Structure 1
């Protein structure tokens, strides 16, 4: 094959000459790298927040000031609307501090957070990408006396993106760009106490992120440009867990979670050498998760969570995080 513009074409030998077979074109490795990088940023932003959601229930219930740290990792398989497949491995670290605020009804905590993650993208035939993400944000969580709660988050990211392309003729091409993303998330739910120390926590969530459009120039001459990349994700689900009192006075709290989600953003257009591509991940998905928190001492708690997600254009075979929280 030979790469010409945004596509790769099959070469056919006729005598001593080679001819391009125009009817058998596929998206070129250079274009694939651009589409994967532009698609990855919203998924990275969402994944960084998923570790935060898994521990907010414990923070709401305790109502105490504290500091926390979490390490996380995940594997993601995605196929854009125009058929570009890539695999993403992400790992990172989040930390933050929360403090209670006096309110007349219920409990309110406000939190600052920051973190860093790296994501390695693997495409076909040796083409790879890398995204380094730095972020900071704030959130608040309010729990009423009758169990209703509201969570809200704002987060700002700075992304550093690199492409390393293996072209069809085995030569290499490279390029990079930086951009910024900002988004928020709001969740409504209720913590319902059941018999025998079980609890149920149904919830509805809406999150949205906008990532700055930017141009990627590869050193082989290929240019790609996208408008702002948007993601609007709605989710409903429930958690079921139990609070178990331990003999030493500590608490063990296992849980399972199930949810369905819908990506509402239908189009994320990218131009590669003036050819338009639809980079959308629009569609529905299902999620399963499980986790546990356990008191290591009066002030120190350990948390661990695993989750799985499967959808029309996206699958997360596994995600895991583990962390500690120290109350002040």
Structure 2
């Protein structure tokens, strides 16, 4: 066949976003690739996407673009129709073994997911079963630090499988679902958002000296910063949890942030996770930016309060960047709900 007659390259991926935000992840893909064919695998969260680009180029574009809503991708290099889960899983294992990528000395992570309505055992049980089927490869099966991720997705009508490098999946967690263990006495689930932001953005919170937490109550983010050894000024007209009030590194100001004036360059970290309107959040944050030292970090959440999140995010970022903040990353983290998280540096 002449080169001019060669068929265009295509690739298939399973793409995951936070619940109810798959449409926005799909829009991000359209902006990258133009035409995108997709179908829903799991209600409001997981899509099967066919791209008119080869797999290697598609992965490069998706990772380089650092999408906001697209949380996780896994390649589809094998698919089989059917409703017998045992046969489907065995077929997927055969594909993996036949790839030759798993061998002695290789560390592999097995990530098995199921859509609603898929029969058979639970996803963790299927993972154990898959591991047994792959024992002959002599690879070491790990939960972190893998050389390769083996992804298997089971639906009521078939199975999809692929093998990829962890960095090519946007997240090395199965489906991008970052899980933290809830601690005894933990004040709120909001703490998980800051933990995930630290991991996603490559930060080390313990490297900071002094932080201001705007809208701190009941104290989930403040508690984590105190655990990391920072001096924290928590600002909120609402009450902090009593367990924090005797912490020696805490200064608690029970006022609205708009009523306070700090010294210039007093903090090297500013965080804000308020459940208020984005416009008001921007006003409060920019009003206190004089207290953040040049080169300091800001981590804030934007509440997505209407049906045009792309436009809202663009507007908020423009306002913040006009106030000497440079956005490094914007991401809807797994622990975000109707919001995204921004990581910024003051210049």
TM-score by length of 2: 0.21
- Greater length-normalized contact order (CA 8 Å, ≥ 6 residues apart): 1
Greater strand share, structure number: 1
Greater helix share, structure number: 2
